[in-house]
Amino acid sequence: MKTTRTDALRRRAIRAAAAASLLMALAPATALADAYPSKPIRLVVPFTAGGNTDIVARLVGKEVQKALGQPVVIENRPGASGNIGADTVAKAPADGYTLLMGTVGTNAINPSFYRKMPFDAAKDFTAVALVASVPNILVVNPSVPAANVRELTQFVKSQNGKATFASSGAGTSIHLSGELYMVMTGTQMVHVPYKGSAPAVTDLMGGQVQIMFDNAPTSLPFVKAGKLKALAVTGAKRMAALPNVPTMEEAGLPGFVTGSWFGVFAPAGTPREVVDKLSQVIMAASRRADFGEQLVNAGAEPDPRPSAEFQAFAMAEKTRWEKVVKAAGVAVDGD
């Protein structure tokens, strides 16, 4: 069959249209990454102002604002152990303009600690970047007759379930560190929850409670002042501020690694180009010595991990804490 000039022109037009369609398909993603952000970004902190999460969020917000040229507005939305603020972000438009400063509580512990959750931590978020971590310190009132973890365990067993341990609230890493200790040592203690670390530490020093796995920034000053005894730290390595205090693993409990961490999440479905852009900015800041020094001054340790690595870490943490909550039998109703 003879090809006419009209057929040739038609085929050429079809090829041109196909090429144009391909370019149009690729253009939005490129244009979006180039244009983002074109308005202020909201970084939701699911806890009150002034705490560790808020401090880290403000440091991150300042860096993102400086790098991207748009204001980053910190919005504190506390309540329900962080679930209220996290849910706000989970249900926000997936456009990169609403972000969450997530924690081990909101994205790893709460999903198993609360039987009813308003969001799905595994499906409703995309990890952007891990920023910092905070180990806990096993501290006791000076009157407790224990100089190390082994002696503490002997003391707790001698109390026949009457020894008390404080926490900053049910479901926190502080609370579940105590539960994990009981599971791993076969001991029983009475959990005394408080509304925050400060009142718990006050009563610990006063002798109303005996034991606590507290976030390092809160208890460290009192350890240095001799008002509390530090028996171990719960991180994977010793703290620079307490070089002579062993880790829980060194103290005889292999696998005992707990603490808090802080990282940025976006709603699921946020364009990958936007997530990567944010991750690159946060990673660049997190690797700078001056930014790391600010984190250390705030009581945290730099722990920069980009999007994919942070996503895997958060999921592994969620699985790990599910096992702790199940073993301890401490899940509660909630929403």
Residue 261: what pLDDT?
95
Q: Nearest-CA neighbor of 94 among 247, 229, 275?
A: 275
Please state, as a whole number, how many other Cβ atoms lie within 10 Å of the Cβ of residue 28. 11
The whole model's pTM is what?
0.80
Q: Determine the 3-state secondary structure of 196 from DSSP.
A: coil
- Token code pair at residue 32: 């979006």
Residue 28: what pLDDT?
54
Are 149 and 124 within one domain?
Answer: no
Burial class (CB in 10 A: 0-12, 13-18, 19+), 157: middle
Q: Nearest-CA neighbor of 65 among 93, 32, 96, 37?
A: 37
Decide if pLDDT at 313 tops 80. yes
Are 310 and 163 within one domain?
Answer: no
- Token code pair at residue 310: 């942070």
Residue 333: what pLDDT?
83
Are 118 and 60 within one domain?
Answer: yes
Decide if pLDDT at 319 tops 60. yes
Predicted confidence band of residue 23 (pLDDT cuts 50, 70, 90): low
Say what the alpha-carbon torsion angle 321, 325, 327, 330 is, to the nearest 10 degrees: 170
Decide if pLDDT at 73 tops 90. yes
Decide if pLDDT at 31 tops 80. no
CATH code of the domain covering residue 188: 3.40.190.10
Are 267 and 125 within one domain?
Answer: yes
Are 143 and 216 within one domain?
Answer: yes
Q: What's the average model confidence in pLDDT over 82-108?
A: 96
247 located within any domain: no
Domain boundaries, position 85? 35-134+259-328
Residue 72: what pLDDT?
98
Q: What's the average model confidence in pLDDT over 303-310?
A: 97
- Distance in angstroms (rounded) separating the CA atoms of residues 288 and 301: 13
81 located within any domain: yes
Are 125 and 59 within one domain?
Answer: yes
- Distance in angstroms (rounded) separating the CA atoms of residues 251 and 332: 31
Give the pairing type, strands 41-45 and 125-140.
Answer: unpaired
CB 235 within 8 Å of CB 247: yes
Q: What is the DSSP string of 200-222?
A: HHHHHHHTSS-EEEEEHHHHHHH
19 located within any domain: no
Inter-helix orientation angle 307-328/173-185, to 10°? 60
- Tokens 């005894």 map to which residue? 229
CATH code of the domain covering residue 117: 3.40.190.150
- Distance in angstroms (rounded) separating the CA atoms of residues 124 and 145: 47
26 located within any domain: no
Phi, psi torsion values for 142, nearest 5 degrees: -55, -20
- Token code pair at residue 87: 């849910």
Q: What is the DSSP string of 102-149?
A: EEHIIIIIHHHHBSS-SS-TTTSEEEEEEEEEEEEEEEE-TTS--SSH
Are 217 and 267 within one domain?
Answer: no
Cis before residue 78, ω within 30 degrees of 0?
Answer: no
Domain count, the chain: 2
For the chain, the average pLDDT equals: 90
- Distance in angstroms (rounded) separating the CA atoms of residues 109 and 137: 19
290 located within any domain: yes
Are 148 and 209 within one domain?
Answer: yes
Predicted confidence band of residue 109 (pLDDT cuts 50, 70, 90): very high
- Most trustworthy range by pLDDT among 40-54, 159-173, 305-319: 305-319
- Distance in angstroms (rounded) separating the CA atoms of residues 298 and 292: 10
Predicted confidence band of residue 50 (pLDDT cuts 50, 70, 90): confident
Residue 296: what pLDDT?
85
In the chain, the percentage of residues whose pLDDT exceeds 70 is 90
Q: What's the average model confidence in pLDDT over 259-270?
A: 96
Q: What's the average model confidence in pLDDT over 300-311?
A: 94
pLDDT per position as a tens digit, 267-286: 999 999 999 999 999 999 99
Are 63 and 124 within one domain?
Answer: yes
253 located within any domain: no
Which of 29-38, 158-167, 198-207 is predicted least confidently? 29-38
- Distance in angstroms (rounded) separating the CA atoms of residues 156 and 182: 10
Q: What's the average model confidence in pLDDT over 63-88?
A: 95
Are 162 and 201 within one domain?
Answer: yes
Inter-helix orientation angle 52-68/289-297, to 10°? 160
238 located within any domain: no
7 located within any domain: no
Q: Which of 198, 233, 268 is the last residue of a domain?
A: 233
Burial class (CB in 10 A: 0-12, 13-18, 19+), 172: buried
Are 116 and 148 within one domain?
Answer: no
pLDDT per position as a tens digit, 229-250: 999 999 989 988 899 999 999 9
Are 61 and 74 within one domain?
Answer: yes
- Tokens 């690729």 map to which residue? 26
Q: Which of 233, 251, 269 is the last residue of a domain?
A: 233
Q: Which of 233, 267, 292 is the last residue of a domain?
A: 233
Residue 216: what pLDDT?
86
